[in-house]
Amino acid sequence: MTKKKPNSARGRIRSELADFLADYARKHYMDAEAGLRLKGAPAKRAAVARKRSPLPEPDLSWAERGSAIWKFYILPEPSAVRRLAEGVPFLKDTIVYSDKAGSIGFIEPLPFLRFLDEESAGEDHARILALMECLPAAAPLQPPSQFNGTVVDSAEFIRDHFSLKVKAPYAQRPLPGQFLQVMCDPVPHVSDPKYRSFEYSEKTLPRLRGIELLERRPFLRRPFSIASYKAGPADANEAWLDLVTWLGAEFEIIYRRIPGGPGTGALSRYAAGDKIDIVGPLGKGFAVGPIPEIALLVGGGIGAPPLIFLAEELSRRGCEVKLFLGAVSKDRIPFCLEGENGDTIERFERMGLCPAVCTDDGSAGIHGLVTKPLLEYLEQNQGRLASMKMFACGPRPLLSALNGIANRFHLPCEVLLEERMACGIGACISCVCAVKEPGQKAHFTRICVEGPAFDVRKVMWHA
């Protein structure tokens, strides 16, 4: 078959990049036991098909049994991408990826090539370097930090504890430990007749009903840690998929409704199909790399949900995860407890994890503080301390106690700090904490920007 010679510099780059990815896949992945590969027995895997036609035909596709399961659109034109993902802000110098389930995402070419270079241990370094020099200097993918999501599900799974799942049209990929600023009640921010009994006019001032002036409404957004994040193919574990920024990702937050609290009270009234305004992901999350051999996850009360996302990420990367959960009583543990002693959590069991559950009053699990089983585990495994790292989130007294434990056993430890946040972006300076870097003077820092993840030894716990 005769190939049509590209008639532009951009066309040549597209052609060369598609050729390289096809050759690379044949050489490194097509018959490999891990990585970028086709499912099924190697004998049944189809060859790589390269296509040069405009969208919706991909530049490069992996096919199995006659149907494409992975598609790559190499540096497509904006007009072509709009046909694939209408209404999405687009950066032209990207690779658009699609799978058989219809998941769509964007990949930055330069980080993608760097990843492939590391995976091949430099075997294709010269060719990759030549491609990187030819690629246009594109700005990094930066989805909008504010998005109008759709509530997928909002459910009270135990008394006063809710799970809220939101689908985002196009949002940044979060890191474990980052948070979202959620507009809990849109009423103070909109002039929709659905919420107000007046309409704005250039000639007259609006008349507000008394209840709108006197009723407690949450004008400011509320911060919530990300409990889980789902995007792209659910059954794929290829490491390069971490480079994809997905469309239609699903965020989950788990929160406790505070009696009389206007924010969480309004948030609990959302139902599936409602629109919700969110800013995020925000803040600095946990530093999960380099991956430790053993990760000790410690959660206290409503501070435990962000450890779900962290546990999923660490387990996926082959890390051994040990989980310790504590609360004042059974009704303050933000998970459905099962089992004879109330110490089994199905959500973690699906990940192959069996957390040590503790309550101060003994109403579930171990009677005592969560530090009790943690100390027992560390005492019994002192020969493996060098391969461990501790991550935690919970009330300040718990995190302060973990500082002492980390120093005693010489463990690296990161903690998520909780604080009231008015803006979430560092402008209001309301969520500060005292920290001290080695060799520097103590100073205040913003939890929402420089955190919420901090090295436990840098926080001045008694300041």
Is residue 450 included in any domain, yes or no?
no
Average per-residue pLDDT for the chain: 79
In a domain, 424, yes or no: no
Is pTM beyond 0.85? Reply is no
Residue 109 within any structural domain of the chain: yes
* Residue that finishes a domain, picked among 88, 109, 134: 134
> How many Cα atoms sit within 13 Å of 118 on the Cβ side?
8
Q: What is the pLDDT of residues 398-415, one digit of tens each?
A: 999 999 999 999 999 999
Residue 110 binned pLDDT confidence (cut-offs 50, 70, 90): confident
Which comes out higher in pLDDT, residue 329 or 12? Answer: 329
Assign 233 to helix, strand or coil.
coil
**Would you state the pLDDT for residue 137?**
65
Say yes or no: 402 and 358 in one domain: yes
Type of residue at 295: A
- The answer to the question of residue 32 being in a domain is yes
For 234, phi and psi rounded to 5 degrees?
-75, -25
Mean of pLDDT values over 18-29: 73
pLDDT band, residue 129 (cuts 50/70/90): confident
| Residue 88: predicted pLDDT | 63
Asked if 232 and 300 sit in the same domain, the reply is no
Q: Are 254 and 381 members of one domain?
A: no
Total domains, the chain = 3
Q: What is the mean pLDDT of residues 233-262?
A: 81
Residue 255 has a pLDDT of: 94
pLDDT computed for residue 165 by the predictor: 95
Do 298 and 324 contact (CB within 8 A), yes or no?
yes
In a shared domain, residues 19 and 65 = yes
Q: How far is CA 286 from the centre of its chain?
A: 11
pLDDT at 363 over 70: yes
- Digit-coded pLDDT (tens) for 222-233: 999 999 998 876
pLDDT score of 204: 61
CA 166 to chain CA centroid, Å, is 13
Whether 90 and 179 map to the same domain: the answer is no
Q: What is the 3-state secondary structure (H, E, C) of 236-256?
A: CCCHHHHHEEEEEEEEEEEEE
Give SS3 for 376. Answer: helix
Whether 124 and 163 share a structural domain: no
Domain boundary among 282, 304, 319: 282
pLDDT of residue 212: 45
Q: Which residues, in sequence order, are bridge partners of residue 300?
A: 326
Whether residue 99 sits in one domain with residue 30 = yes
Return the CATH number at 392: 3.40.50.80
Judge if 66 and 162 occupy the same domain.
no
Query: Which of 282, 311, 332 represents a domain boundary (last residue)?
Result: 282
Residue 442 lies in a domain: no
177 touches 306 (CB < 8 A): yes
435-447 tens-digit pLDDT:
988 888 888 999 9
Same domain, 92 and 14: yes
Confidence (pLDDT) at 114:
85
Dig out the tokens for 230 from the structure.
């789902």
Which residue shows structure tokens 């189809």?
46
For 102-129, what is the mean pLDDT? 81
State the CATH number of the domain containing residue 256: 2.40.30.10
**Residue 381 lies in domain:** 294-413
CB 397 within 8 A of CB 371: no
* Residue 344: predicted pLDDT: 81
Q: Where are the beta strands (DSSP E) in 385-442?
A: 388-393, 413-416, 432-435
| Euclidean distance between CA atoms 185 and 308, whole angstroms | 26
pLDDT digits (tens, 9 = 90+) for 44-83: 333 343 344 344 577 777 665 555 567 788 877 777 666 6
pLDDT over 90 (residue 340): no
Q: Are residues 321 and 246 in the same domain?
A: no
Assess if residue 455 is contained within a domain. Answer: no
Do 150 and 274 share a domain, yes or no? yes
Q: State how far the Cα of 443 lies from the Cα of 463, in Å rounded to an integer.
A: 10
Return d(Cα 374, Cα 405) in angstroms, integer: 9
Q: Is residue 157 part of a domain?
A: yes
Q: Are residues 48 and 83 in the same domain?
A: yes
Assigned domain for 435 exists: no
